[in-house]
Structure 1
Amino acid sequence: MNRQRISAIAHQYHSIAAPLDSDSADLLLRWGLPVGDERVLDLGCGRGAWLELALDGRPELQVVGVDLDPAAFENVPEVLTGKNVELRVGDAAEYSSEEPFHLVLCMGATHAFGGLLPTLEAARRHLAPGGSVLVGDGYWEREPGPAALEIFGDGSGADPFTDLAGTVDRVVQAGWTPVFAHTSTTAELDEYEWSWTGTLSEWALDHPDDPDSAAALEAARVHREEWLRDYRRTFGFVSLVLRRTDGGA
């Protein structure tokens, strides 16, 4: 069972593919979104949940979403079918546009670029002067054990994260200034994990004849045990609204 299908099923009832509730997402967008007919880009947009939120009450926005999975754009809400919306299937790391964007998002998809700092470098190439980036990534709330490092690592043995202060230091040293942020609460993280594993499990139980049913149930079981035993209250998630320190793009 491929990763895209697992993710699509697991996020069926948690459209934001990150540990954030709707109030937190709304607050982040209020900080990051410009006012008027500006352009918004979501790199690794999934089913376009962030773009849908951005367009709520702001129909003048021009929005573009890029995702590698063509199935992500099946049955999108009506608001994402308008003439001011472009949904493009492709590698977010290879996307290019002649016009810059006033807000660039990459929420929970930094793996597509090789980590937080490469994601910010990619976002910078799309950013209009004075624009903002909204990026979400993991950090360690406490010292991780070997199992947590293996789960979130890339196989090289390198630690993919640091603590929250160290994460902000890296961003600042790379030329960015945080203008707002949200650290996901334990409740948000727990709700996300229960939703992810529960939705995938329920789908498997409801579709016993599907060729992927057994694999989905096993994927949910493994994920649930890793979360509960190896990284709950160790892995954290921070969403940062950033601007270039030098004001440029």
Structure 2
Amino acid sequence: MTDTPHPPRLSRLTFHGPLSEPRADRMVQRLAATRPHTVLDIGCGWGELLLRLLGAVPGAKGTGIDVNGEDLARARRNAEARGLADRVEFVEESALRTRRGPADVVLCLGASQALSTAESPTLEALRELRRLVTDGGRVLLGEGFWERPPTAAELSGMWPGATPADHYDLATLLDLAVEAGFRPEWTETAGTEEWEEFESAYQADAEVWLAGHPEHPLAAETRERLDRHRGQWMSYRGVLGLAYLTLVPTAI
């Protein structure tokens, strides 16, 4: 069975992050209530939340930006299947200093690093988001934060080069949003169940494939990747949080 192809990539994930269906529905309802004409999704991946928002606001048009062509192809297929292809464009390009805004709603879920080259990009990214949103619009930011200060042992098991400076606590993150020109309309954080659903689904296809094909030429590489990511998750589990901030731009 060595000719069996590699497992589908992330096929069990609805969203590329710890986001439940009920929370996504509430987010879409909250953003749709502002009646946006334009929506911009930074680091859109396959654009699931963007497509749901467009489906909830007839006539609205959207643009998704990402550098992953495979994810964008999935986004285009989904848009076509939902009858939204004429109202959305998915473009493969960097979001750094993008001129695609301003838009009435800007989505940036786990992708603020795409807006800045700074070592600590959060504040610069927030300022970019303020530039990209219209007055009276909304930004939905999904951003990591420390639930508590990580220990040295926990940091050593996370992503390469992880340091305490990689994230702020939630209070500081909110203060930075205000400094960048926003007021927080809504503050919520991913729960344990959402994280477990995301992390399990992130690995599931490959784990099942590996269990059935331990001698495949790609098995060693896949096993190393899966074990490394699981170890990282166990190191940041309960330490790294994800905040979903619905931000209103302060009038200039």
Q: TM-score range by the shorter chain?
A: 0.7 to 0.9
TM-fit CA distance, 1:55: 2.1
Q: 2:63·2:91 contact (CA, 8 Å) conserved in 1? A: yes
CA distance in structure 1 between the partners assigned to 2:83 and 2:96 by the alignment: 22
> Does residue 101 of structure 2 align to residue 95 of structure 1?
no
CA distance in structure 2 between the partners assigned to 1:133 and 1:178 by the alignment: 10
Change (3 A) 1:95 1:152: farther
CA distance in structure 1 between the partners assigned to 2:238 and 2:11 by the alignment: 25
AA partner of residue 95 (structure 1): T
AA partner of residue 58 (structure 1): V
CA distance in structure 1 between the partners assigned to 2:237 and 2:218 by the alignment: 27
CA distance in structure 2 between the partners assigned to 1:37 and 1:173 by the alignment: 25
CA distance in structure 2 between the partners assigned to 1:198 and 1:129 by the alignment: 42
Give secondary structure in 1 for the equivalent of 2:59. Answer: coil
Count residues with an aligned counterpart: 238
TM-fit CA distance, 1:117: 2.1
Larger Rg: 2
CA distance in structure 1 between the partners assigned to 2:141 and 2:107 by the alignment: 6
Aligned to 1:83: 86
Aligned to 1:111: 113
TM-score (norm 1): 0.84
Specify which of 162, 166, 175 is matched with residue 172 of structure 2.
Answer: 166
Q: What 5-or-longer segments of structure 1 have no aligned partner?
A: 1-5
TM-fit CA distance, 1:35: 4.6
TM-fit CA distance, 1:40: 0.2
Q: 1:39·1:102 contact (CA, 8 Å) conserved in 2? A: yes
Aligned to 2:71: 72
- The equivalences for 1:1-249 within 5 A come to 9=9, 11-36=10-35, 38-75=37-74, 76-77=77-78, 78-79=81-82, 82-97=85-100, 100-114=102-116, 115-150=121-156, 155=161, 157=163, 159-205=165-211, 212-228=218-234, 230-245=235-250, 247-248=251-252
Q: 2:47·2:64 contact (CA, 8 Å) conserved in 1? A: yes
Once the two structures are overlaid, the 10-residue window that deviates more, 109-118 or 199-208, is 199-208
CA-based RMSD:
2.6
TM-fit CA distance, 1:96: 1.4
Give secondary structure in 2 for the equivalent of 1:121. Answer: helix
TM-score (norm 2): 0.83
CA distance in structure 2 between the partners assigned to 1:15 and 1:222 by the alignment: 23
CA distance in structure 2 between the partners assigned to 1:209 and 1:86 by the alignment: 42
Change (3 A) 1:173 1:122: closer
CA distance in structure 2 between the partners assigned to 1:165 and 1:38 by the alignment: 32
Change (3 A) 1:129 1:235: same
Give secondary structure in 2 for the equivalent of 1:56. Answer: helix
